[in-house]
Chain A
């Protein structure tokens, strides 16, 4: 090892002091994070609220407790940006501004974000280990949302085998989503790639894939999916469980499309999203940005190219359901 010559160490010293001075000056640009009043706070059981408080409130509430080391520029810039963005997406201090239905679906989303380690932000827990959510806490959250969503017991359990088979009045013009995706019936001739049911919102579904989508599954080319792949999910309400324990599909609820075009839909991960509700197939979304909401949540399936429902070998071991 060579020793640094006097002139070399002088240069280092100079560079060092320059950086120090720059950092010092940066502090004057450090943003202040204010805590606006708490208007309608989340009010769940203590066991749940405590988890959110220690793991989420620094970013997702008006009770941010910013540590001294988070107030140093340039870290403070990132912290302030995170908090501003986080509050915009989800604010536990303004929880009451959501309808009851929105609260419940948000809670399911929250549980899944935490379950997959997406929240709290990993960059944050790396520096603030106390914000980590333990497995026990995740189970507490899961039990909480499951109990919240328990369906009322059906009054009778007559075998309910019949769905209304004749479709109600269909639309008079081809329903078209604001992003240009028009409803089509073609999927009725496609293969079903998965069948799912949800105990978070009382529905059951069939997921269809066109030939390009099915081939991509067979060849395992789903990261990303090829252009031209199309996936349609058709959603029905569930009927009450019958005497044999079977649950049959009831009324048609909606159809949801994912159309792969990596250029046209670049902003939403290369998928064009659309949803058509009721037999009148009313397109969902008032502004073109509606699809960002679809895309954001579908990031939870980024290991599958943003598609949740595909046949996989991995067994979760546990089948979750509520009776």
Chain B
């Protein structure tokens, strides 16, 4: 909430002629746009372009921004548009669906679930480099329509309503995709821990 008020105030300063006020917004949001770019487009080079194009468009369009939404939502709407343009250029696979049936635990999984000790381990202990890579890998193979919802909701912390605004979707669609995306990642992590592929350090 504090940060939203701050953004609003910064935007106002910009609109009153203090163009350097934009630096604060760029400093705060460009890493977030960059992260979305890396994870959506799969390359640092493209992410760099996405960050650049998004922030420049925002700079040029900010005079016309009337604050109907949060600044961050508006910015990510621009990022999403740029992201689609970039991805369209090398689009190969059609949109995939993740049916819920895929995530019903098998009997085997129901058995192994209960010995899954990672469920009770603090996140900070789990988050080592190896898991980080696993997690990124699992995110990377999600169908893009699910991946972007997961990133906006869980990685960027937008609410379901804000995510719906950014992606031009209905809230139930956002929730449904978020859930399937989380289920898919959970399945990967479960396998990872069950099979003991991870190193104990």
Instruction: Report whether chain A binds chain B.
Output: no
User: Taking beta carbons and an 8 Å cutoff, which residues of B are in contact with A?
Assistant: none
Q: Which residues of A contact B (CB under 8 A)?
A: none
